[in-house]
Structure 1
Amino acid sequence: MKNKINHIKLLLILVGGFLMQACSDQFDELTINPNQPSMNAYFTSPESVNTAVQALYGYISTQRCLGASGSKTQIIRSDEAASNSDYGKPGMYGSDLNSSFYTIEQPFTLMYTTASQASFVIEAAPGIDFGTNTELKNAYIGEAHFWRAFAHYYLLINYRNISPIRNMPRNAGDYIRSAEKPEDVWTFIQEDLIKAKELLPGRGFWSSENHGRVTKGAAAALLGKCYLYRSGIETVYGDDKTTFYNEAAREFSDIINGVYGTYSLTANYADNFDVAHENNSESLLEVQFLGDVNNTSFNPGLATSGLAFDSRGLMLPGAGVGYEGVVHNWLYDAFVESVDKDGYTDVRMFSTLVFNDLAPEIKLRQQNGEPVRLTGPGGWKWEELYPEKNGSTGFSTTSNVLAHPFKAGIKKGMDFSMPTLTDADGTPIISGVGSGVKEYVYNQPRAHGVNWRYIRYADVLLMYAEAVLNGGNSQASITPLEAVNQVRSRANLANLPALTLEDVKHERVLELALEGHRYYDLLRWGELAERFNALQNSDSYFKKFVSSSDFQGFVSNKHEWLPIPINEINTNPSINQNPGY
């Protein structure tokens, strides 16, 4: 799939009469094109169904969805990090967190686009002749059910007040729908995933050129996650307090027991965050990206955008104005306090953060009598990236002094294998800054092709433990304690003798930091407002790394959800805005 997705040009722009028309930093609009032919004309063969299904992956991974806007919604919005990029602004709790900001509108629109086209596949594909290849036909329909569920899952946990697309919209009136109760949307999502799990193939069905296409294991993992999220979120915020911990535990147990094929932790934690080891044994759901080093033909919403992971908002400070991100110091400190059985700093810190690894609190591993150093882009070490100035060994940047109070930058999602390049006289090969300044190829935001491992087996093990500790019935071949200790063992940490929910929560911080889960962990645990208020009161730099100094703070009963985009409010009188906006 990863090496084919860029060829999906037709169906990415044909979806229920919609046409993407944006190519600037602002997402212009979706308009109905009366001259566009009906999608029915393209559904004539198994190949056309496949093209339509592949387009669903394209909608999800294009930069205006999870490739840029949607990913920052999940990562920067948590308590882990801060960003001065436009993409990260909704996560900075300032004036840009509003219903008209484009990075809030874009994923909302594209997730609905995904749901619309998935509905069309679900309705049209059964009528296409696949001959005797029923398994392939079922696989395509199963993929459509999966991505319709995923789209609604994303919309529900971020925007809350939504109206699901249960059938393919065929006229303007079909887009005027009232919001449904969250519990009804959850049920619809779960029904789609149950159907997807029934129809999808098992692990190993797809050929190597189709890496990344979903399987039964992906459907079970997302279904279990939805049961777990629903149980927590609705208990805290909903009217229906029914919990589904038994159902969540069952789904995770089946994955652990190998019902859908063998999944396992990779021996090397770092293999989950690079290009060389994508789609590995730990991956259950992986969003596929291709780097577009030359930034050619960028067209938001279309396959020609490159489907890269646009890393703006995650870049190291000093790499480029408007691109940068920092990690809040509490997360750095949490890793420092995690020491393995041999007295070394938790190995996961070195795949998660970029920091001064020569700081006295860091205990570096030794190899042949020498410390194993952390390197940044192009192999540069911290002191080469940030030469000491005035006694400081932190972010010694001149382009962004707001970075100075922070101890670490972001590594996950970045391809540090790309070199730093300058020509003979020090002038950067990549244009953009003056002579004598080192320029990073990795600074080109659309050069990053690192896949987003959206659900890893480690996450499944930790969610399984959480579900059982919350009262779910274990059906797995291992106990929750054994599951958590498997995760810890890979990091060479001592086994826990017993297990509590607090242990699971802490392990999720260390194992899954900056992977887009933390905000929703706090949300479903009912700890979001308390956590943000505590950090705002204790850390004078919390969420202060912004391009404009307008941090307004987390507001309870408002910021739990993103605002419904103003275009939706203006065109659909049946939808109400979320409270506080």
Structure 2
Amino acid sequence: MMKNLGLIVTFVTLLCVNYSCSLDEPSYGKTTTENFYKKESDIDYALTGAYLQLRNTWNEYALNFYLLGDCTTDDALKGGGDDGDRREVLDLSNFIVYTTNAEVARRWTILYELINRCNDVIQYAPDAIGDADRLTRYANEAKALRAFGYYSLVTTFGGVPLITKPMTPAEILKVPRADIAAVYQLIETDLMDAASNLPAKSQYSEKDAYRVTRGFAKVMLAKSYMFRSDFENAEKWLKEVVEVDKDYELLPDYGLNWTPAYENSRESVFEIAAKLYDKNIATGTNVPHFFTSRNVSGYQGYGFHVPTQDLYTAFDADDPRITYVFTRTGDRYAGDTEDQDNSQSVTGYHDYKMTVPRVEKEGYDVWMIPYNIRMIRYADVLLLYAEALNENGKASNALVYVNKIRERARNTNPVDPRRSKQAYIPPTTNNTLPDITATGQMELRQAIWHERRCELAMEGWRRDDLMRQKRFGETMRAYADKYNTTKGANFTDSRDYLLPIPQDEIDKSNNVLTQNEGY
């Protein structure tokens, strides 16, 4: 799939032009015609169009995922030039959220466009002419992606309209919000189908390397159960991934995860590919440029998604992962002619994981960088498994998996091979990151939560964790008190666990859609 992506991007763009991608339709309405889906190649193109909804050049889901997932939490500040620079993210961060917030609307739109295209594939693949097994796989890929879309919607908006087949705009406008339980039921059904019918990661050919897998489906099932505190079912599916299928493993060094040589590595469960097979076709990503230091030639980004001091102090001073989470003034990447300058960052830090060194993007436009977005890593899976095991009274088993993460971290090189200068090198010793030994459920729970924060720092999952652990409000109000800031001070539990339904969607539905409490 991926090596033909350039041609497919062009084709999908033409498809949208020729088959009425109307701006007058609801953002979650049908955008293509039934007359197209007749043969296997049509379905393949349509499925690629679904994948591409996560990485539209000027509307990338990853950007929204990071800004909402981290900047609304204690892990990251909005950053940017000033308060007015992407003000909608600052409002979200301060929990002063209007129903017209553009970042909220962006999430809704991207995810329903993804769901819409998945619906087309699921609807038409069974009757298309071609290889029956491949068409079945395409339909199950679409189910996995559709479930991902609905998971991302239900965990931020609550009950949302369930659109499960191609519909006309008039039909769409009559669909009310479904109960949260019904949304999760669809997620479970789609993911169980996908888990049973999709290949393992190793079974895909190189050209299909970035397609969703059985592992992705099972991990998303586990995440959906974890979000509802159904630890028994979460443990069941995580056990399949970790102990039965064994499709993934940790890389030996934490820092390898963000190097070109280890894109889509054995640790990667889901990546959004941003390879550039043709520099003239827009298949790269611009997300790193949003997060890069504003002051360094060859970078000169927008400086968003700034790690907080609170996140930094969560790490032990000798934790090697510090090297691969934070950049500082005085760092210099190999091949650069000047040091990093983070003087415009309020904390003095920028996001290492989304910083692409100059030599790795040489010859490319900064808005079109060949850098994959790492969405789900196996480390996330192991820590979820540890958490589920502990909640199910299996502390000794949980310790095995959380300590695998700590073992890998302490064996990580504290000196970044990609830097020629490093302003801070964690002073590792034989006592760095010792194994956790706590067996009391509450104490171990806190240790696992802390390990997730450090291991997955700046990867977009912090908000998700705080919400499902039911400590979002408590954490953010404590943050506001600790730092005497407005960030988190306005958090209201009855309102801020959900985002508002975008007002434009309510208006287009003629109030068929209803608003969340407090907005």
TM range (shorter): 0.7 to 0.9
Aligned residue in 2 for 1:203: 201
Q: What amino acid sits opposite 1:504 in the alignment?
A: I
Aligned residue in 1 for 2:460: 516
Cα distance in 2 for residues equivalent to 1:293 and 1:356 = 34
Q: What's the offset of the Cα at 1:533? A: 0.8
Aligned residue in 2 for 1:282: 267
Match of 1:350 among 323, 333, 337: 323
Q: Secondary structure at the match of 1:180?
A: coil
Q: What's the offset of the Cα at 1:522? A: 0.8
Q: Secondary structure at the match of 1:186?
A: helix
Q: What's the offset of the Cα at 1:137? A: 1.9
Q: What amino acid sits opposite 1:82 in the alignment?
A: L
Deviation readout 1:252-308 (Å, 9 max, x if unpaired): 11111242x5310001211222333111001111122246998x7xxxxxxx65351
Match of 2:398 among 480, 501, 518: 480
Q: Secondary structure at the match of 1:516?
A: coil
Match of 1:385 among 329, 340, 343: 340
Q: What amino acid sits opposite 2:323 in the alignment?
A: F
Match of 1:453 among 361, 374, 384: 374
**Are positions 1:252 and 2:238 aligned together?**
yes
Alignment of 1:320-399 (within 5 A): 320=300, 322-335=302-315, 337-338=316-317, 345-355=318-328, 375-376=332-333, 378-379=335-336, 384-386=339-341, 395=342, 397=343
- Structure with more of its chain in helix, by fraction: 2
TM-score, length basis structure 2: 0.83
**Are positions 1:469 and 2:390 aligned together?**
yes
Aligned residue in 1 for 2:10: 9
Aligned residue in 1 for 2:421: none
Match of 1:415 among 356, 364, 368: 356
Cα distance in 2 for residues equivalent to 1:379 and 1:292 = 25
Q: What's the offset of the Cα at 1:31? A: 4.1
Contact 2:292 2:302 (C-alpha < 8 Å) held by counterparts: no
Cα distance in 1 for residues equivalent to 2:360 and 2:52 = 28
Deviation readout 1:59-98 (Å, 9 max, x if unpaired): 0122414143344222322221112445574355359842
Contact 1:121 1:141 (C-alpha < 8 Å) held by counterparts: yes
Q: What amino acid sits opposite 1:127 in the alignment?
A: D
Kindly tell me: are residues 456 and 37 of structure 1, through their superposed partners in 2, closer, same or farther at Cα, counting changes over 3 Å?
closer
Aligned residue in 1 for 2:422: none
Q: What amino acid sits opposite 2:464 in the alignment?
A: Y
Aligned residue in 2 for 1:76: 71
Aligned residue in 2 for 1:100: 100
Match of 2:39 among 45, 57, 67: 45
Match of 2:21 among 19, 22, 26: 19
**Are positions 1:119 and 2:119 aligned together?**
yes
Q: What amino acid sits opposite 2:36 in the alignment?
A: Y
Alignment of 1:218-237 (within 5 A): 218-231=216-229
Aligned residue in 2 for 1:263: 248
Aligned residue in 2 for 1:497: 437
Aligned residue in 2 for 1:57: 51
Q: Percent identity?
A: 23
Q: What's the offset of the Cα at 1:356? A: 5.7
Runs of at least 5 residues in structure 2 that lack an aligned partner in the other structure = 411-432
Cα distance in 2 for residues equivalent to 1:553 and 1:378 = 45
Cα distance in 1 for residues equivalent to 2:103 and 2:75 = 19
Q: Secondary structure at the match of 2:270?
A: strand
Q: Secondary structure at the match of 1:184?
A: helix
Cα distance in 1 for residues equivalent to 2:247 and 2:116 = 33
Q: Secondary structure at the match of 1:285?
A: strand
Contact 1:558 1:579 (C-alpha < 8 Å) held by counterparts: yes
Contact 1:354 1:376 (C-alpha < 8 Å) held by counterparts: no
**Are positions 1:561 and 2:505 aligned together?**
no
Q: Secondary structure at the match of 1:412?
A: helix
Runs of at least 5 residues in structure 1 that lack an aligned partner in the other structure = 21-28, 232-243, 297-303, 339-344, 358-373, 387-394, 422-440, 544-550
Q: What's the offset of the Cα at 1:510? A: 1.1
Cα distance in 2 for residues equivalent to 1:186 and 1:218 = 17
Q: What's the offset of the Cα at 1:553? A: 3.9
Q: Secondary structure at the match of 2:203?
A: coil
Aligned residue in 2 for 1:237: none
- Alignment RMSD (CA, Å): 3.2
Q: Secondary structure at the match of 1:100?
A: coil
Contact 1:509 1:518 (C-alpha < 8 Å) held by counterparts: yes
Kindly tell me: are residues 155 and 487 of structure 1, through their superposed partners in 2, closer, same or farther at Cα, counting changes over 3 Å?
same
Cα distance in 2 for residues equivalent to 1:552 and 1:19 = 42
Contact 1:273 1:450 (C-alpha < 8 Å) held by counterparts: no
Q: What amino acid sits opposite 1:66 in the alignment?
A: Y
Q: Secondary structure at the match of 1:286?
A: strand
Q: What amino acid sits opposite 1:533 in the alignment?
A: R
Cα distance in 2 for residues equivalent to 1:318 and 1:541 = 26
Q: Secondary structure at the match of 1:41?
A: coil
Deviates more, 1:1-10 or 1:48-57: 1-10
Cα distance in 1 for residues equivalent to 2:204 and 2:249 = 19
Kindly tell me: are residues 3 and 38 of structure 1, through their superposed partners in 2, closer, same or farther at Cα, counting changes over 3 Å?
closer
Kindly tell me: are residues 258 and 272 of structure 1, through their superposed partners in 2, closer, same or farther at Cα, counting changes over 3 Å?
farther
Q: What's the offset of the Cα at 1:559? A: 2.5
Q: What amino acid sits opposite 2:48 in the alignment?
A: Q
Q: What amino acid sits opposite 1:189 in the alignment?
A: I
Contact 2:26 2:505 (C-alpha < 8 Å) held by counterparts: no
Q: Which structure 1 residue ranges, 4+ long, deviate > 6 Å from structure 2?
A: 291-294
Q: Secondary structure at the match of 1:42?
A: coil
Cα distance in 2 for residues equivalent to 1:184 and 1:40 = 27
Kindly tell me: are residues 144 and 385 of structure 1, through their superposed partners in 2, closer, same or farther at Cα, counting changes over 3 Å?
closer
Contact 1:93 1:553 (C-alpha < 8 Å) held by counterparts: no
Contact 1:312 1:324 (C-alpha < 8 Å) held by counterparts: no
Q: What's the offset of the Cα at 1:464? A: 0.5
Kindly tell me: are residues 101 and 30 of structure 1, through their superposed partners in 2, closer, same or farther at Cα, counting changes over 3 Å?
farther
Q: What amino acid sits opposite 1:196 in the alignment?
A: A
Q: What's the offset of the Cα at 1:196? A: 1.1
Aligned residue in 1 for 2:144: 146
Q: Secondary structure at the match of 1:496?
A: coil
Cα distance in 2 for residues equivalent to 1:459 and 1:15 = 40
Q: Secondary structure at the match of 1:177?
A: coil
Deviation readout 1:94-152 (Å, 9 max, x if unpaired): 5984222333212311211221221121111101132xx44322210111101111111
Contact 2:119 2:166 (C-alpha < 8 Å) held by counterparts: yes
Cα distance in 2 for residues equivalent to 1:350 and 1:506 = 18
Deviation readout 1:380-439 (Å, 9 max, x if unpaired): 67xx334xxxxxxxx4x3xx4xx34x1422111221244799xxxxxxxxxxxxxxxxxx
Q: What's the offset of the Cα at 1:166? A: 2.2
